[in-house]
C-alpha cells in the first residue's frame, strides 16, 4: 500500500502495522520456506521412544543425585583431575595469549603488510573453525595421552580467539592518538608501546580473563578423548552410571566457573 493510501486509511480509522518485510512475495516465501524446513527437519529426527521411556528413571536418579552429590568415594580421582584441569587452564592461557599478541598484531589490517596479514588470518581461521575436541584428537595422536596434549590444544584455540579479537580492537583504535605519537618522531616499537598498547590493554586483560574461564570449561571436556583433566573422570563416572559422583564434579565445575567470572569482573573493573 502506498504511503498516501495508508494516510487516507488512517484518517478513516483503518491502520495496520507496517510489515517487517515489505515485498509480500519475499515475506510469504520466507514463511513457507521456514515451515517446509521445520517439517523436513522434524520428520528426519528419529526417536526411539521405548529407549526414552527407559531413560526416564535414570533422569530421576540423576536429578536425585544433584540433591546428594558424592564428593567422597572418588575423592582421589576428582582431585587429580581437577588439579590437571586447573594447571592446563593456566599454562595454556598464558602461552596462548603470549602467542596471540604477535598473531593479532599481524592480523590487523591497519598496521601490518599484506602477506603477513594473510598468514595471520589463516592461522586464526583454522584455529577458530575446529572445535577444541577435534584439535585435541590430533594432538593426542601426536603427543600421546595426557595433559601436555590438552595444554597445546587449549593454547592453540586461545591463539585464534584472542588474536581475532585483538586484531579487531587494533583495527578500530583511535588513529589520531597513533598519529600524535608518530608525529613526535617515535619508532615503530615506541608507537606500539605509547599509542597502541594503552588503548588495547584493558580489553586485552579482560579478554584474557574471559578466555581463562573458557579454557577451564573446555578443559573439562577434552579429557573425553584422552587429553587429561577432569573430563576423563566425569566420563568414567557417567558411563558407570555413578550419577552422584558426576553431580559432584558438575557442581565443582559450576562453582569454579562462577568464581572465575566473579574475579574476572573485579579484575576488569580494576584495569579499566
Partner 1 sequence: MPVSTTPQGQPVWRRRTTRAQWLQYLAWLAGVSLFLLCWKLISDNTMWVFVEDAGRQGADLISRMTPPKWGYANVLWKPMWDTINIATLGTALGIMMAFPVAFLAARNTTPHPLVRSLALMVIVSSRSINSLIWAMLLVTILGPGVLAGIIAIALRSIGFVGKLLYEAIEEIHPTPVEAISATGASRLQVMNYGVLPQVMPAFAGISVYRWDINIRESTVLGLVGAGGIGLQLNASINSLAWDQVSVIFIMIFATVLVSEWISARVRHAII
Partner 2 sequence: MLTLTGVGKRYPTGDRALTDIELTLPKGQVMALIGPSGAGKSTLIRCVNRLVEPTQGSIRLDGTELTKLSGHKLRHARRSMGMIFQEYALVDRLTVMENVLSGQLGYVGFWRSFLRRYPQEAVVEAFRLLERVGLPHAIDKRADALSGGQRQRVGIARALLQSPKLLLVDEPTASLDPKTSRQIMRLIRELCAERELAAIINIHDVALAQQFADRIVGLRAGEIVFDGLPSELTSEILTTIYGEEDWDTTPEPMDDAVSGDEATNTAPINPPYARVMSSIEAGAAR
Which residues form the interface with partner 1 (CB under 8 A)? 37, 41-42, 44-48, 51-52, 54-56, 58-59, 62, 83-84, 86-88, 90-91, 94, 125, 129-131, 133-134, 137-138, 141-144, 146-148, 151, 217-218, 220-221, 224-225, 228, 231, 234-235, 238-239, 241, 246, 250, 253-254, 257-258, 261
Q: Could you say which of partner 1, partner 2, none residue 200 binds, taking C-beta under 5 to 8 angstroms by partner kind?
A: none
Q: Which of 99, 222, 228 is nearest to 160 (CA)?
A: 99
Phi, psi dihedrals of residue 46, rounded to the nearest 5°: -95, 125
What CA–CA distance (Å, rounded) separates 126 from 153?
A: 13
Through-space distance between the first and last CA atoms of the chain, rounded to whole angstroms:
52
Alpha carbon 132 to chain centroid, angstroms: 10
Spatial distance between the Cα atoms of 130 and 148, rounded to a whole number of angstroms: 19
DSSP per-residue string spanning 169-237: HHHTS-HHHHHHHHHTT--HHHHIIIIIHHHHHHHHHHHHHHHHHHHHHHHTTGGGGTS-SHHHHHHHH
239 binds, among partner 1, partner 2, none (CB under 5 to 8 A by kind): partner 1
Is residue 170 within 8 Å of residue 111, measured between CB atoms? yes
Any idea of the CA torsion for 10, 15, 20, 21, to the nearest 10 degrees?
Answer: -70
- 8 vs 201, which CB is nearer to partner 1? 201
Q: Tell me, rounded to whole angstroms, the distance of Cα 63 from its chain centroid.
A: 27
Q: Which does 12 bind (CB under 5 to 8 A by kind): partner 1, partner 2, none?
A: partner 2
* The only residue of 5, 12, 40, 56 in contact with partner 2, by rule CB under 8 A: 12
Residue 18 binds partner 2, judged by CB under 8 A: yes
Nearer to partner 1, 5 or 142 (CB): 142
- Partner whose binding site includes residue 17, from partner 1, partner 2, none (CB under 5 to 8 Å by kind): partner 2
Does position 20 bind partner 2 by CB under 8 A? no
The yes or no reply on residue 14 touching partner 2 (CB under 8 A) is: yes
Q: Is 68 in the site for partner 2 (CB under 8 A)?
A: no
- Quick one: what does residue 52 bind among partner 2, partner 1, none, with the CB cut-off 5 to 8 Å set by partner type? partner 1
By C-beta, is 9 or 125 nearer to partner 2?
9
**Which positions lie near partner 2, rule CB under 8 A?**
3, 6-7, 10-18
Amino acid at each position: 500500500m502506498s504511503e498516501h493510501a495508508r494516510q487516507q486509511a488512517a484518517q478513516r480509522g483503518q491502520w495496520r502495522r507496517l510489515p517487517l518485510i515489505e515485498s509480500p512475495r519475499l515475506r510469504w516465501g520466507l514463511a513457507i520456506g521456514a515451515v517446509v524446513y521445520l517439517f523436513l527437519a522434524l520428520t528426519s529426527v528419529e526417536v526411539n521412544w521405548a529407549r526414552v521411556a527407559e531413560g526416564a528413571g535414570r533422569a530421576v536418579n540423576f536429578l536425585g543425585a544433584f540433591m546428594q552429590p558424592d564428593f567422597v568415594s572418588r575423592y582421589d580421582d576428582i582431585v587429580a583431575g581437577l588439579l590437571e584441569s586447573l594447571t592446563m587452564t593456566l599454562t595454556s592461557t598464558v602461552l596462548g595469549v603470549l602467542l596471540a599478541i604477535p598473531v593479532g598484531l599481524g592480523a590487523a589490517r591497519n598496521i601490518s603488510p599484506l602477506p603477513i596479514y594473510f598468514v595471520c588470518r589463516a592461522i586464526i581461521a583454522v584455529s577458530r573453525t575446529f572445535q577444541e575436541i577435534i584439535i585435541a584428537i590430533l594432538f593426542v595422536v601426536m603427543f600421546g595421552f595426557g595433559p601436555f596434549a590438552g595444554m597445546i590444544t587449549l593454547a592453540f584455540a586461545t591463539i585464534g580467539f584472542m588474536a581475532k579479537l585483538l586484531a579487531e580492537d587494533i583495527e578500530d583504535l583511535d588513529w589520531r592518538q597513533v598519529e600524535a605519537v608518530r608525529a613526535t618522531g617515535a619508532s615503530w616499537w615506541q608507537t606500539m608501546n605509547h599509542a597502541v598498547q594503552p588503548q588495547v590493554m584493558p580489553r586485552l586483560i579482560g579478554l584474557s580473563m574471559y578466555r581463562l574461564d573458557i579454557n577451564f570449561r573446555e578443559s573439562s571436556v577434552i579429557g573425553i578423548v584422552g587429553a587429561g583433566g577432569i573430563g576423563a573422570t566425569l566420563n568414567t563416572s557417567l558411563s558407570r552410571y555413578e550419577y552422584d559422583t558426576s553431580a559432584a564434579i558438575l557442581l565443582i565445575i559450576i562453582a569454579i566457573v562462577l568464581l572465575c567470572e566473579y574475579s574476572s569482573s573485579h579484575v576488569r573493573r580494576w584495569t579499566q
